[in-house]
């Protein structure tokens, strides 16, 4: 990655773990450490949010330019990329996380116990900036994290089904984002670099039932853009048979503020209304919700919610 771009990302709070990979402290780690507030994934799946490491092995490399993306986007044509080695990324990312939380020691709002736990991450969200399936050693990366006793959440935009299909080591939880009910909205909202990517997303959804891991379809719902069309979404989700569907409202933060307005943030009531309609079509249950995060979780049974460690 060019030095100029590295400088911009460092200003945004990223710590590099090589030339093309990096870590950033999640807002919710900070919230948990100093205010005791956790992200909805702690409430839904029982993760320890203050022990979560948020990283990307393919920083700022993506085949979409979603208008709602809150990350820095500069996905223009790149020269050849030399990706970092999985083991190096894992070791450096854990080290970087330790350094990122070091400043909380001594803050009277953060207990020593929690600070120590935060220095020993047991959860990784492979979902920072960029599309992780662009990284050629994804299975090995997941394996390296799991070798260290960490749960792995992988979030993909679903545009690279051949990578999902060929993973020889699956994450603890596999997310596919479904941010559009049809190709027309997909092209306008997700700004793909090829319109064929819509068919690839459909193919990824069809692959989910064959994966021997927990699967989640996640909607990022943007008011005025992709809310409604519940029947079209339901037809796509039916094929994916996911363990869970997360209906999540867009949040007006980060770089998305240059492309969206605060009016694009749906209320929790809107998310709930959407979730209820989708639920009826899919025959699922509302398993949980968190109003402050504007998210409703759909699924078949609460039994599967807690992650096995």
Q: Are 15 and 99 in contact (CB under 8 A)?
A: yes
Beta bridge partners of 218: 177, 246
CB 108 to ligand SF4: min, Å: 22
Q: What is the dihedral of CA 278, 282, 288, 289, to 10 degrees?
A: -10
Q: What is the dihedral of CA 59, 262, 221, 57, to 10 degrees?
A: 10
> Of these, 1, 23, 26, 245, which contacts ligand SF4 (CB under 6 A)?
26
Based on CB atoms, which residue is closest to ligand SF4, 57 or 130? 130
CA distance 29 to 42: 11
Q: Is the separation of the CB atoms in 164 and 133 below 8 Å?
A: yes
Cα angle vertex 64, ends 59, 65, to 5°?
85
CB of 15 to ligand SF4, least distance (A): 15
Q: Output the smallest distance, CB 121 to ligand SF4, in A.
A: 10
Taking CB under 6 A as the criterion, which residues in 187-226 touch ligand SF4?
none
Hey, what are 248's tokens?
Answer: 């999540």
How far is residue 169's CA from residue 183's CA, in Å, rounded to a whole number?
31
d(CA 245, CA 111): 35
- Report the nearest approach of ligand SF4 to the CB of residue 222 (Å): 11
Closest separation between CB of residue 261 and ligand SF4, Å? 18
How many residues bind ligand SF4, per CB under 6 A? 20
Contact flag: residue 157 with ligand SF4 (CB under 6 A): yes
Stretch that binds ligand SF4, among 93-101, 126-134, 139-147, 160-168 (CB under 6 A): 126-134
Contact letters for ligand SF4, residues 45-74 (x by CB under 6 A): --x-x--x-x-------x-xxx--x-x---
Q: Which two tokens stand for residue 141?
A: 């990366």
**Judging by DSSP bridges, how do beta strands 151-156 and 123-126 pair with one another?**
parallel
- One-character DSSP codes across 240-266: H--SEEEEEE----GGGGGT--GGGS-
Least distance in angstroms from the C-beta of 234 to ligand SF4 = 22
Q: Which is nearer to ligand SF4, 191 or 281 (CB)?
A: 191
Nearer to ligand SF4 by Cβ, of 29 and 245: the residue is: 29
Q: Which stretch binds ligand SF4 (CB under 6 A): 2-10, 88-96, 125-133, 143-151?
A: 125-133
Residue 38 CB, nearest approach to ligand SF4 (Å): 8
Residues within the interface to ligand SF4 (CB under 6 A): 26, 28-29, 39, 41, 47, 49, 52, 54, 62, 64-66, 69, 71, 125, 129-131, 157
């Amino acid at each position: 990655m060019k030095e100029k771009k590295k400088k911009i990302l460092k200003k945004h709070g990223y710590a590099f773990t090589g030339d093309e990979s990096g870590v950033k402290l999640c807002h919710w780690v900070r919230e948990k450490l100093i205010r005791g507030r956790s992200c909805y994934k702690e409430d839904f799946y029982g993760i320890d949010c203050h022990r979560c490491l948020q990283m990307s092995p393919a920083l700022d490399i993506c085949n979409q330019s979603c208008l709602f993306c809150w990350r820095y986007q500069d996905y223009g044509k790149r020269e050849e990329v030399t990706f970092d080695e999985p083991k190096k990324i894992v070791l450096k990312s854990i080290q970087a996380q330790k350094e990122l939380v070091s400043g909380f020691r001594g803050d009277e709002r953060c207990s020593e116990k929690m600070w120590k736990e935060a220095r020993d991450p047991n959860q990784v969200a492979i979902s920072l900036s960029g599309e992780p399936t662009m990284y050629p050693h994804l299975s090995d990366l997941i394996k390296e994290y799991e070798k260290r006793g960490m749960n792995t959440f992988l979030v993909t935009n679903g545009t690279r089904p051949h990578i999902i299909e060929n993973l020889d080591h699956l994450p603890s939880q596999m997310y596919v984002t479904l941010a559009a009910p049809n190709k027309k909205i997909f092209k306008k909202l997700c700004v793909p670099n090829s319109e064929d990517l819509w068919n690839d997303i459909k193919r990824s959804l069809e692959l989910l039932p064959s994966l021997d891991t927990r699967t989640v379809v996640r909607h990022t719902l943007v008011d005025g853009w992709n809310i409604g069309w519940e029947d079209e979404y339901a037809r796509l989700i039916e094929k994916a048979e996911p363990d869970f569907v997360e209906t999540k409202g867009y949040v007006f933060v980060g770089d998305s503020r240059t492309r969206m307005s605060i009016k694009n943030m749906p209320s929790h009531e809107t998310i709930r209304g959407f979730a209820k309609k989708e639920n009826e079509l899919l025959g699922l249950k509302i398993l949980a919700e968190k109003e402050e995060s504007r998210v409703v979780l759909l699924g078949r049974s609460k039994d599967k919610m807690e992650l096995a460690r």
